[in-house]
Amino acid sequence: MDTDVRSSEEGRDRGRGFSLLQIYIDADACPVKGEVYRVASRHGLGVTLVANSWMRVPPEPGIVLEVVGSAFDAADDWIVEKVEPGDIVVTADIPLASRCLEAGARVVGPSGRPFTEDNIGNALATRELLSDLRQSGERTGGPAPLQKRDRSRFLQQLEDAIQSIRRDQRVSRL
């Protein structure tokens, strides 16, 4: 087994200092992996990258790579199967975001856009509309390149999600 690929259960191992909060990254095209590593390290959180093919990950405890194969939506299905309430998912994939919200997770897009119960319906509708326009031959363009302010917004949203989950966990223990 390659040393960069570890069991996903390692990320949830309390004995190694990681809380139950887990961050899952839809990793194949995620531009903010480095930011997630830094924030997770600061908070002692586990990170699981889910990808269709091998990629290099830092050889640090709590960072895990799950290679799921190339079947359509294999990474999405794997994340939805594993994610739990109180986890965070980083993805730009709107249908995956919707499925993770249904599972009780918090979801943050790489540009710092949080997906919530309040905005996921509009995001899905917009995605469907743009898909219909593309199928009719209309050029809709792709997502804008990630800017410095997007990375900053992402870091803030990730920090806010972590703090909110921890507050909720403290309240539920009372």
> Is residue 162 assigned to a domain?
no
pLDDT on residue 52: 96
Buried (b) or exposed (e) across 67-103, using 16+ Cβ within 10 A? bbeeeeeebbebbbebbeebbbbbbbbbebbbbbbeb
**Average pLDDT of the chain to the nearest whole number:** 86
Please report the beta strands in 6-126, taking only residues with DSSP state E, as ranges in sequence order: 22-26, 46-51, 63-67, 88-90, 106-108, 114-115
Q: What is the pLDDT of residues 123-173, one digit of tens each?
A: 878 767 767 667 878 776 767 889 999 999 999 999 999 999 999 888 887
Q: Does residue 19 lie in a domain region?
A: yes
Q: Which of 45, 38, 36, 19 is nearest to 169 (CA)?
A: 19
Note whether residue 131 is domain-resident: yes
pLDDT for residue 120 is more than 60: yes
Domain annotation covers residue 155: no
- Distance from C-alpha of 46 to C-alpha of 53, rounded to nearest angstrom: 20
pLDDT at 173: 78
Q: Does 52 fall in a domain?
A: yes
Q: Is residue 80 part of a domain?
A: yes
CATH number at residue 43: 3.40.50
pLDDT at 125: 85
Which domain covers residue 108, as residue numbers?
Answer: 8-139
In a domain, 165, yes or no: no
Query: What's the CA gap between 54 and 3, in Å, rounded?
Result: 12
**3-state SS assignment for residue 46:** strand
- Work out how many domains the chain is built from and give that number: 1
| Residue 173 placed within a domain | no
CB contact at 8 A, 71 and 88: no
